[in-house]
Amino acid sequence: MDSAYGKKIVEHCGGIFGFVSFILRVPEDETCIILINNQPSPNLGKIAGELNTLLNGKDVVLPKQRKEIHVDTTILRQYTGGYELAPGFVLTITLEQGKLVQQATGQGKAEILPERENFFFLKVVDAQIEFIKGANGKIEKLVLYQNGREIPGKKIN
């Protein structure tokens, strides 16, 4: 069980082809937020959390619109490789037709777009990736920013 605003929350998501759902309950407040969508959506949990924020009298911070910039292919090439986010879970970055593409273990591919030279964002989900150089000037890791978490991934190849 998680908590928000000092109260325990219970949440669960699920789906099948053509149907996705998310439920967030705050037993103490007798609050139940149910979201249903007929298209795959990674944002239902975020929307439910923001509705809970409003119900708790807090302000919701709207996401800023991200703008893609041009980054030279020679710079993009240095980011390619595998990055281990957890044992057995690798985020693989490839360069395909001049664009960077990420693919996590067991998941599909998605393009990542540059917002700054070393900072990228995804359009399919609210997530960002920052590439970090080591003392030797070479990329040694990345940080995945998603759902309020910062998940480091060491470059393994």
Looking at the chain, the number of H-run helices and the number of E-run strands are: 2, 12
The residues near 8 (Cβ < 8 Å, ≥ 6 apart) are: 1, 2, 26, 27, 28
Q: State pTM to two decimals.
A: 0.68
Q: Rounded mean pLDDT of 24-46? A: 88
- Burial (CB < 10 A; 0-12, 13-18, 19+), residue 144, is buried
Residue 47 sits at φ, ψ, to 5 deg, of: -60, -45
Q: Give the pLDDT confidence score for residue 1 in this predicted structure.
A: 58
Q: What is the percent of the chain with per-residue pLDDT over 90, rounded to a whole number?
A: 73
Side chain identity at 69, as an amino acid letter?
A: I
Query: Strand 7-16 vs strand 99-104: parallel, antiparallel, or unpaired?
Result: unpaired
Q: What is the mean pLDDT of the chain?
A: 92
Q: Give the pLDDT confidence score for residue 135 in this predicted structure.
A: 96
Q: What is the SS3 assignment for 19?
A: strand
More confident of the two residues 46 and 23: 23
The residues near 7 (Cβ < 8 Å, ≥ 6 apart) are: 26, 28, 29
Sheet containing 2-4: which strands, arranged edge to edge? 2-4, 7-16, 19-26, 31-37
Q: Give the integer Cα–Cα distance in Å for 50 and 33.
A: 11
